[in-house]
Chains A and B, each alone.
Chain A
Amino acid sequence: MKGLTRRLLVRLGTGLVMVWVVATFTFFLVHALPGNPGDAQYEQYLTQGMAPETARAKVAVIYGFTSHEPLLQQYTSYMWQLLQGNLGVSISYTGEPVVQVIRAALPWTLFPVLTGLVVSFLVGVTAGVVAAVRRSSRWGGLLSLSGSLVAGVPSFVLALLLAFLFHTLWQILPFGDTSDVTLEPGFNGPYIASVISHAVLPVATYALLSYGGWLLAMKSSVVSVLGDDFILASELRGITPLTRMRYIARNAILPLFTVLALSLGFMFGGSVLIEDIFDYPGLGNLLLKSIGARDYPLMGGAFLLITVAIVLANILAELLYSVIDPRVRR
């Protein structure tokens, strides 16, 4: 257990370093951009007839620094603001702190992405086991084929297809935004039902996108475990088929946990396209809008958050792994 705590601390440390690197990168990215958006903003204020001091102060509020100070000082002041949880002020959402903008959008990415991931993991892994065990039968072949097919479709094609079929053609599911705007947000039946029905299409897209990957990965993992000696040994000891199946599944699922953590990060990235297509106001949509509006503070904040999410997911995977695999527990 002592080793586990130490490894976790090491992970946490490297995670912090990663976050710091990304924050630094974002800072210098904003600086390296042609025309330095901070300066541009400053000049814009000046042309609007604002006094230089007021304009400088306004820019400092937005970006956490002004380019009139030496670079190092700008950097330390930016980092100092960051440590206090201040990511600056959004430009496109005038005056609103970036933290608040992100906090409003985050649940609408977290909830569909996590739901989609859990659904696809459970379904894909189960289907993978079946596809492996029945790999010589027709059903097993069809399952594997379904995995390869779905895994090969680009995310935006799938999203557009689903939107066309279920919204435009059959008109079963709503499209755009997180709920019906006429409803009062809160803990009431119609609102929750509306949220769920609005989330179905994005969730289904996330789930379908990763389902094929899980299926194929689990299938190959199960096939390799099936050839392990201890499976034959347990068969020769007369262990029941159900227990043997559990032995196989648990051993086969191990390598997938690392992938699970990584894919969480990938799905956050993937949310940019999918939320844009479904016009779903999550983090990905926010990121895209901020890029379009050259809202650098917001962009930086979104990048940082995605980094933190990936780091946390990796730590979580490490923890899970050590719970499930005794060989890494020491």
Chain B
Amino acid sequence: MTDTVQLTAERAEAAAEVSVRDLTVLYRTDQGELPAVAHADIDLPTGTITGLVGESGSGKSTLALSLMNAIPAPGRISSGSIQVNGVGDVTRLEGRALRRVRGRALGYVFQASQNSLNPLKTVGKQLLDLGRAHDVQDMRGLVRRARELADEMGMDGARVLDSYQHELSGGMRQRVGIVLALVLNARVLILDEPTTALDMLSQAAVLEIVRKVHRQEGLTTLVVTHDMGVVSEIADRLAVMYGGRIVEDGPATEVLQRPAHPYTRALIGATARITGDTDTARALPGRPPDLTTVPRTGCVFRERCPLAMDVCAETEPQLLTWAPDRRRACHADPATTAATGEGA
């Protein structure tokens, strides 16, 4: 049993489509340069959907943007590497080479509430701009491919290409975003809060589409979200971020059932169930830290942690493998965190 798990873990390691190593992203503030992401280590195994969760300000969107090497000023990637299969280290790319990778190798889909389309041009015209930017010779083929993708996602492809942004609903915009991210056959799809600001039915539809497209196109997908429901719905793997650190990761079902970090447990505990007593949802006391309030030494979570010990104030826990295919950054005994999980 343990052996087979070990085996799959190693295979995943070998076949990572994206592997982030020791990534640190600094933002310039009044108090000097502060890390929004610190020493992040994560793999996106080929063909899997990884969920990246955390509260706002945890650095999850920053991590997603750094995969595109698109940290906006005054931020910068200060160290680490991001190896993408077939592309190399994204952090080393710049100018034209970087532009070519964006959209062609890596597809990025914006939050649905954000307007990711030029309001003055039809989707079709923007598709042609995309084709020209990436030197696509066969424009007809590109349009055909976009139409197919749109049809696959349950839209009228021809009509969508003829529409302006204001003529599309939130759910449709989101799907158009996915079409534009995939139309050049990107292998990696990054979705930033794909369901935020959508109504429940559109959320379900978009998740269904993500799952379907992911499978059909054989993608490697990263879903950034604060919604544990989304993660439990579609993710194969789960990574939890807090204060710019990845504090736990592993297979989604295992992490959700047996969280090994007190923060993960709190996140799960704070999610209200659709049926049953809402009192079972327990809010995490305290506020999520921002760049300036993250503790500089020790564990970033210790101020809100029910299990905090003396050592937590002194040494920052490393993200270490504690069970097959599972990692966590916590000084407490894994048994304690899991056991109290049910008691809370």
B-binding residues in A (CB < 8 A): 228-230, 232-240, 243, 247, 250-251, 254, 324-327
Query: Using Cβ atoms and an 8 Å threshold, which residues of chain A touch B119?
Result: 230, 251, 326-327
Contact B115–A237 (Cβ < 8 Å):
no
B321 at the binding interface (Cβ < 8 Å): no
Give the nearest-CB partner of A242 in chain B. B133
Could you list 18 further interchain pairs (A-B, Cβ under 8 angstroms) beyond the known A233-B116, A239-B130?
Answer: A229-B110, A229-B115, A233-B108, A233-B117, A233-B177, A237-B180, A238-B99, A238-B133, A240-B132, A247-B120, A247-B121, A251-B118, A254-B120, A325-B120, A326-B119, A326-B164, A327-B119, A327-B166
Instruction: Give Cα distance in the complex from A233 to B117, angstroms.
Output: 8
B70 at the binding interface (Cβ < 8 Å): yes
A329 to chain B, nearest CB (A): 9
Query: Using Cβ atoms and an 8 Å threshold, which residues of chain A touch B72?
Result: 232
A257 to chain B, nearest CB (A): 13
Contact A327–B102 (Cβ < 8 Å):
no
B129 at the binding interface (Cβ < 8 Å): yes
A231 to chain B, nearest CB (A): 9
B258 at the binding interface (Cβ < 8 Å): no
B101 at the binding interface (Cβ < 8 Å): yes
Given contacts A236-B68, A237-B133, contact A230 B117 (CB under 8 A): yes
Instruction: Give Cα distance in the complex from A247 to B103, angstroms.
Output: 18
Partner of B102, one of A230, A235, A243, A250: A235
Query: Using Cβ atoms and an 8 Å threshold, which residues of chain A touch B121?
Result: 247
Query: Using Cβ atoms and an 8 Å threshold, which residues of chain A touch B108?
Result: 233, 236-237
Query: Using Cβ atoms and an 8 Å threshold, which residues of chain A touch B130?
Result: 237-239
Partner of A230, one of B101, B103, B118: B118
Chain B, residues 282-300, CB within 8 Å of chain A (1/0): the string is 0000000000000000000
Instruction: Give Cα distance in the complex from A180 to B118, angstroms.
Output: 52
Partner of A237, one of B103, B114, B120: B103
Query: Using Cβ atoms and an 8 Å threshold, which residues of chain B touch A238?
Result: 99-104, 130, 133-134
Partner of A240, one of B68, B116, B133, B164: B133
Contact A233–B110 (Cβ < 8 Å):
yes
Give the nearest-CB partner of B103 in chain A. A238
A-B interface contact total, Cβ < 8 Å: 73
Chain B contact-residue range equals 20 to 34
B20 at the binding interface (Cβ < 8 Å): no
Query: Using Cβ atoms and an 8 Å threshold, which residues of chain A touch B99?
Result: 238, 240
A143 to chain B, nearest CB (A): 21
Query: Using Cβ atoms and an 8 Å threshold, which residues of chain A touch B18?
Result: none
B181 at the binding interface (Cβ < 8 Å): yes
Instruction: Give Cα distance in the complex from A236 to B68, angstroms.
Output: 7
Query: Using Cβ atoms and an 8 Å threshold, which residues of chain A touch B122?
Result: 326
A33 to chain B, nearest CB (A): 51
Partner of B114, one of A229, A254, A325: A229
* Residue contacts A-B, CB under 8 angstroms, 22 given: A229-B116, A230-B116, A230-B118, A232-B110, A233-B108, A233-B177, A234-B118, A234-B126, A235-B70, A236-B68, A236-B103, A237-B102, A237-B108, A237-B180, A238-B100, A238-B101, A240-B99, A240-B133, A243-B129, A251-B118, A251-B120, A326-B166
Query: Using Cβ atoms and an 8 Å threshold, which residues of chain A touch B103?
Result: 236-239
Query: Using Cβ atoms and an 8 Å threshold, which residues of chain A touch B100?
Result: 238
Most central of A228, A233, A237, A325 by chain B CB within 10 Å? A237
Query: Using Cβ atoms and an 8 Å threshold, which residues of chain A touch B110?
Result: 229, 232-233
